[in-house]
Amino acid sequence: MNISDLFDKGGIAIWPLLFLSFLALSTIIERAWFWSKILTHDREIAGRVLEAARRDWPAATEIARKSSNQPIGRFLYSALELQNPDPEVFELSLQASADEEIATMRRGEKVLEATIAIAPLLGLLGTVLGLINSLSSIRIGDTDSTTGTTLGIAEALISTAIGLIVAITALAFYRLFQ
């Protein structure tokens, strides 16, 4: 069975599942790119800023400013740019910046959560629709009805399987990104 057969035999629920698949896949790719950049650069930036802060506060501030395209750079710069802050203001600045960065890091979670919840339901909807189609084609004493029954059951199982595949994949990456 090839992909076009899946769409021909999978029923109406296949199309929203395809949409959710693309939505989840694009979110997964964007988040993987985002996290790979963070994991490769943040430790180095933090080390450079902290090392410079021990010797030269303005130099540390400049390093953080130049690194403001990364979350750790924005996080550190928010506090370092303050002019002679007391410790409480410094800490509040870091907390506010951390809240903003965490929100950015969590972007895309709602899409994956929705996909995880909706895809199996769409698959089950496809199952129900396929079974309805199967049962409506059964005619007592008519041997030709078995073909319609098996096609409907196939439609039901294909939709269920694809819905579960989409949800399982999105769930795996959702958990990975948390």
Q: How confident is the model over 90-111, as pLDDT tens digits?
A: 899 999 999 999 988 888 888 8
pLDDT class for 66, splitting at 50, 70, 90? Answer: very high
Helix ranges restricted to H, the chain: 3-9, 14-55, 57-66, 71-80, 87-105, 109-137, 145-177
pLDDT class for 62, splitting at 50, 70, 90? Answer: very high
162, with CB counted inside 10 A (0-12, 13-18, 19+), is buried
Provide the 8-state DSSP code for 83.
S
User: Which of 37-51, 123-137, 161-175 is predicted most confidently?
Assistant: 37-51
- Which one has a higher pLDDT value, 65 or 132? 65
65, with CB counted inside 10 A (0-12, 13-18, 19+), is middle
List, for residues 106-162, the tens digit of each pLDDT value.
Answer: 888 888 988 998 899 888 888 888 887 777 676 666 566 566 667 777 777 788 888
| CA–CA gap between residue 22 and residue 147 (Å, rounded) | 33
For residue 145, the model assigns a pLDDT of: 58
- Which one has a higher pLDDT value, 71 or 9? 71
Q: Are 11 and 121 in contact (CB under 8 A)?
A: no
